[in-house]
A and B are shown apart, each in its own frame.
Chain A
Amino acid sequence: AQSVTQPDIHITVSEGASLELRCNYSYGATPYLFWYVQSPGQGLQLLLKYFSGDTLVQGIKGFEAEFKRSQSSFNLRKPSVHWSDAAEYFCAVGARAAGNKLTFGGGTRVLVKP
């Protein structure tokens, strides 16, 4: 069965600074990988996804993520954080064998300092 670990529960970053959120997955074959964001009081919104091909994936809101098979990682990055990026971020893994099911990590809450 697949699993996802997000090692950082909370991250505080200053506005304008860079942000990197870590995600490690466990799955025997090539996974489908996703990053979702949940703003306060909102449902989850897809930031980006990786299925195959180029390992550097561009998403919405200026985010990108890099798939590294050798490290079983799919870290999310943003070069310059805005106050509106304060939210909770979830990494998820899916697999065709799992029948469209997603397994989510525990989430990372990002606080942005002025």
Chain B
Amino acid sequence: DVKVTQSSRYLVKRTGEKVFLECVQDMDHENMFWYRQDPGLGLRLIYFSYDVKMKEKGDIPEGYSVSREKKERFSLILESASTNQTSMYLCASSFGQGTYNEQFFGPGTRLTVL
């Protein structure tokens, strides 16, 4: 079974702190994704990556950055956390370049910024 793990289930940070959310997948997937989930808005794509050291902006990249130094790991960084970044963050991965395959999701990290 594909396993996507996220470093924390719950996280509480203060405004202005630098926050790292880590995601690791164990199936050698090329593609990795970061979403935020808010009630009524569904999932919105923040950033995604097709390969190591490659990244592309999603629909709501403002206030976020990402890092992918190893194929299995994709990090989401909040350079200076703000209260409007309080949300559930979901990581996903999928196999394949240029073809469409199922995305497998981690359990999520619920981030609260005070």
Contacts and interface: CB of A to CB of B under 8 A. Distances in A.
Interface of A: 4, 6, 9, 32, 34, 36, 41-46, 49, 51, 90, 92, 94, 96, 99-107
Contact of A43 (B56, B96, B99, B105): B105
Interface in B49-65: 50, 56, 58
A25 B92 CA distance: 22
B100 A32 contact: yes
Interface in B64-114: 90, 92, 94, 96, 98-103, 105-108
A59 to B, nearest CB: 12
A45 B50 CA distance: 21
Interface in B20-70: 31, 35, 40-45, 48, 50, 56, 58
B21 to A, nearest CB: 14
Interface of B: 4, 31, 35, 40-45, 48, 50, 56, 58, 90, 92, 94, 96, 98-103, 105-108
B108 A43 contact: yes
Given A46-B103, A49-B102, 13 more contacts: A6-B42, A32-B100, A34-B102, A36-B105, A42-B107, A51-B100, A96-B98, A100-B94, A100-B96, A100-B99, A102-B43, A104-B35, A106-B42
